[in-house]
């Protein structure tokens, strides 16, 4: 590869890198939204039990049965 | 402008300037700051070479830009610390009058500093005829001060309502004032030294005028929104 | 605006952008002729300039959204404004990075003060970074109002900065490195236009994506408050 092409590739690589990192940041935001939605679902299901202890216990019991 | 607005404007302006004349704090401090900054620039750049004339305009206006930040911050001290703001907000003064009076006050502070700093820069940095062009330099100063005053009034008012205002103001103000520094330094450079490039000078002065006009319009359109009412 | 319609809009803009980008890259590398003077290095410009203009478009959108916010005080305009400014800032950083690589390729140094575009974008980055400093130091409705004011003032600053930098530079270094522009042969221009539309499409896609997310976050927060209050 000529030295000129190396620079061109480097420039496009930088653009790609930044865009992928942007996707990572957006993805992390999505993960947080999903986590919040999960928390709210649990709150709605059993209001006295926000940490989902009862739900966890039930899930473990169901998994043990299988 | 109505008679009432003109009277209010004059009253506000007189308030700012009179406070200043009585205490003399701000103007003196700003002048000292400007001189100190020029000395620092000399040691930062000027000792590399005997030929400092090319730098004169740049050093002068870099110094004045930083001094402007200081000046804008100081000009709002009565509003911040002495409760003047509450009084102003309650009084039936149009927001535009507040803006214009503040802008003129800031421009006046700058002029007071320039009266000292410009000749001093000439003595420090320029070889060759300089004082003959003081009238031309005055025009540059007036035009640049207009832009600085308008922006300073707008951003200074916003920083009043912000946390960490000593940081917020310079961070907002300095990048916005870069075109003024570039043009004013360019105009100064055009007439410092032996030959005067009048075409260059006129071009830069025109730019300064356009800048003040554009931001005058922006400030006119947006200033009322700075206040909650 | 219903959820499905904003999702559909994202799909349409995103797919179009993806296709355009692929076509642009193909065209730039395989179809467009190589520049006589600069050789293959010139190919950087297709995206360097496209991203630069896209970032200016982004800042323009931020300014217009700011004006609409001041007039209507509707939350959605502030959403568009802050996201657009953020994307403009991201694109501006990309402009500096690609411009720096080009400078290294052409002149051997990572930075040149003589290229007005590069210097203007440096100023622009400082300016719009200040936007976020302002945002973080004010709260509530005032945050949205002041952000709108600054978005308008900053956008007015951009052409003034560009012009003053260019005029100042031309007295010291006559501007030599502006490639392309009116001198580009039409075989190159068409691929430049494609890259430009692709870059703007990229901005619009990212804008739409972030808008959807921002609204979702806000609804969830409101829901959380509602639930906590109902259960208390």
* Separation between Cα atoms, residue B169 and residue C21, nearest integer Å: 41
Sequence ranges of the domains in chain A: 3-65
Cα-flanking dihedrals φ and ψ of residue C63, to 5°? Answer: -65, -50
Per-residue pLDDT at B8:
72
What is the pTM for the complete model shown? 0.87
Of C127, C137, C149, the CB nearest to B226: C149
Q: What is the CA radius of gyration of chain A?
A: 23
Per-residue pLDDT at C18:
93
Residue in this structure with the two tokens 């109002």, named with its chain if needed:
C145
Interchain contact A/C (3 or more Cβ pairs less than 8 Å)? yes
CA angle (B27, B28, B34) in 5-degree steps: 90
Cβ-based neighbours of C115, under 8 Å, separated by 6 or more: C99, C103, C177
pLDDT in tens, C72-125: 999 999 999 999 999 999 999 999 999 999 888 888 888 888 788 888 999 999
Measured between CA atoms, the residue of chain B closest to residue C161 is: B179
Tell whether C113 lies on the interface with B, counting CB pairs under 8 A: no
Number of domain units in chain C? 1
Q: Which two tokens stand for residue B137?
A: 């330099």
Instruction: Name which of A15-29, B35-49, C135-149 the model is least confident about.
Output: B35-49
Instruction: Name which of C122-131, C142-151, C185-194 the model is least confident about.
Output: C185-194
- Asked whether C56 and C199 are in contact (CB, 8 A), the reply is no
How buried is residue B116: exposed, middle or buried, by Cβ count under 10 Å (0-12/13-18/19+)?
middle
Look at residues C132, C126, C61 and name the one whose alpha carbon lies nearest to residue C96: C126
Per-residue pLDDT at C6:
86
Is A1 a residue whose pLDDT tops 90?
no
Q: Which two tokens stand for residue A11?
A: 């420039």
* Separation between Cα atoms, residue B24 and residue B31, nearest integer Å: 11
Q: Across residues C202-220, what is the average pLDDT?
A: 94
Of C98, C209, C231, the CB nearest to A15: C98
Per-residue pLDDT at C176:
45
Interchain contact A/B (3 or more Cβ pairs less than 8 Å)? no
Tell whether C7 lies on the interface with A, counting CB pairs under 8 A: no
Tell whether A40 lies on the interface with C, counting CB pairs under 8 A: yes
Look at residues C53, C30, C21 and name the one whose alpha carbon lies nearest to residue C187: C30
* Separation between Cα atoms, residue C142 and residue B161, nearest integer Å: 9
Best of B151, B165, B171, B227 to disrupt the C interface (most C CBs within 10 Å) is B171
Look at residues C100, C10, C202 and name the one whose alpha carbon lies nearest to residue A19: C202
Q: Which two tokens stand for residue B223?
A: 């200033």
- Whether C133 is covered by a domain: the verdict is yes
At B72 the three-state DSSP class reads helix
* Separation between Cα atoms, residue A45 and residue A34, nearest integer Å: 16
Tell whether C140 lies on the interface with B, counting CB pairs under 8 A: no
Interchain contact C/B (3 or more Cβ pairs less than 8 Å)? yes
Q: Please identify every stretch of chain B with a pLDDT value under 70, giving residue numbers as ranges.
A: 1-2, 16-25, 46-50, 52, 81-82, 128-131, 193-195, 229
Tell whether C164 lies on the interface with B, counting CB pairs under 8 A: yes
Per-residue pLDDT at B125:
78
The count of CB pairs under 8 A between chains B and C is: 92
| Domain of residue B198, residue span | 3-226
Length of chain A: 66
Q: Which two tokens stand for residue B12?
A: 């506000």
Tell whether C231 lies on the interface with A, counting CB pairs under 8 A: yes
**Residue A53 C-alpha, separation from nearest chain C C-alpha, in angstroms:** 18
- Whether C117 is covered by a domain: the verdict is yes
Q: Which two tokens stand for residue C17?
A: 């952008």
Tell whether A43 lies on the interface with C, counting CB pairs under 8 A: yes
Best of C30, C41, C118 to disrupt the A interface (most A CBs within 10 Å) is C41
Give residue A46's pLDDT band: very low, low, confident or very high (50, 70, 90): confident
Number of domain units in chain B? 1
Cβ-based neighbours of C60, under 8 Å, separated by 6 or more: C155
**Residue A20 C-alpha, separation from nearest chain C C-alpha, in angstroms:** 12
Interface ipTM: 0.85
Is C138 a residue whose pLDDT tops 60?
yes
Q: Across residues C8-13, what is the average pLDDT?
A: 91
């Amino acid at each position: 590869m000529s030295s000129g092409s190396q620079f061109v590739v480097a420039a496009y690589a930088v653009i790609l890198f930044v865009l992928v990192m942007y996707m990572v940041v957006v993805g992390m935001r999505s993960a947080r939204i999903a986590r919040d939605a999960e928390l709210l679902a649990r709150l709605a299901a059993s209001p006295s039990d926000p940490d989902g202890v009862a739900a966890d216990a039930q899930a473990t019991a169901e998994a043990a049965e299988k | 402008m109505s008679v009432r607005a003109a009277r209010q404007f004059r009253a506000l302006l007189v308030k700012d300037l009179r406070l200043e004349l009585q205490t003399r704090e701000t103007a003196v401090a700003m002048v000292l700051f400007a001189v100190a900054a020029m000395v620092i620039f000399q040691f930062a750049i000027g000792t590399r070479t005997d030929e400092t004339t090319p730098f004169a305009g740049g050093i002068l206006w870099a110094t004045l830009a930083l001094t402007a930040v200081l000046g804008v911050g100081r000009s709002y001290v009565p509003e911040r610390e002495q409760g003047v703001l509450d009084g102003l907000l309650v009084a039936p003064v149009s927001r535009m009058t507040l803006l214009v009076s503040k802008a003129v006050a800031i421009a006046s502070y700058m002029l007071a500093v320039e009266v000292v700093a410009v000749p001093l820069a000439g003595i420090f940095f320029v070889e060759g005829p300089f004082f003959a062009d003081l009238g031309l330099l005055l025009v540059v100063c007036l035009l640049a001060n207009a832009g600085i005053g308008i922006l300073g009034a707008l951003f200074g008012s916003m920083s009043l309502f912000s946390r960490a205002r000593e940081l917020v103001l310079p961070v907002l103000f300095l990048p916005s004032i870069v075109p003024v520094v570039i043009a004013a330094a360019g105009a100064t450079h055009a007439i410092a030294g032996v030959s005067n490039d009048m075409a260059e000078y006129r071009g830069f002065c025109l730019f300064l005028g356009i800048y003040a006009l554009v931001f005058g319009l922006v400030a006119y359109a947006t200033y009322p929104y700075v206040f909650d009412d | 605006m219903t959820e499905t319609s904003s999702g559909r809009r994202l799909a349409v803009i995103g797919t179009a952008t993806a296709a355009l980008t692929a076509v642009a890259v193909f065209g730039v590398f395989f179809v467009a002729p190589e520049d006589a003077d600069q050789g293959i290095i010139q190919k950087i410009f297709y995206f360097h300039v496209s991203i630069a203009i896209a970032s200016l478009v982004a800042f323009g959108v931020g300014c217009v959204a700011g004006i609409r916010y001041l007039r209507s005080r509707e939350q959605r305009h502030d959403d568009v404004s802050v996201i657009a400014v953020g994307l403009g800032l991201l694109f501006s950083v990309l402009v500096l990075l690609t411009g720096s690589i080009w400078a290294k390729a052409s002149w051997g140094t990572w930075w040149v003060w003589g290229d007005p575009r590069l210097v203007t974008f440096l100023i622009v980055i400082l300016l719009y970074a200040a936007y976020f400093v302002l945002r973080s130091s004010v709260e509530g409705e005032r945050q949205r109002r002041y952000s709108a004011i600054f978005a308008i003032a900053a956008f007015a600053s951009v052409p003034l900065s560009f012009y003053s930098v260019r005029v100042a530079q031309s007295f010291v270094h006559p501007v030599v490195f502006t490639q392309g522009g009116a001198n580009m042969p039409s075989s190159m221009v068409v691929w430049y236009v494609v890259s430009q539309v692709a870059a703007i499409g990229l901005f619009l896609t990212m804008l739409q994506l972030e808008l959807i997310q921002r609204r979702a976050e806000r609804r969830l927060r409101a829901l959380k408050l509602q639930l906590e209050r109902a259960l208390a």
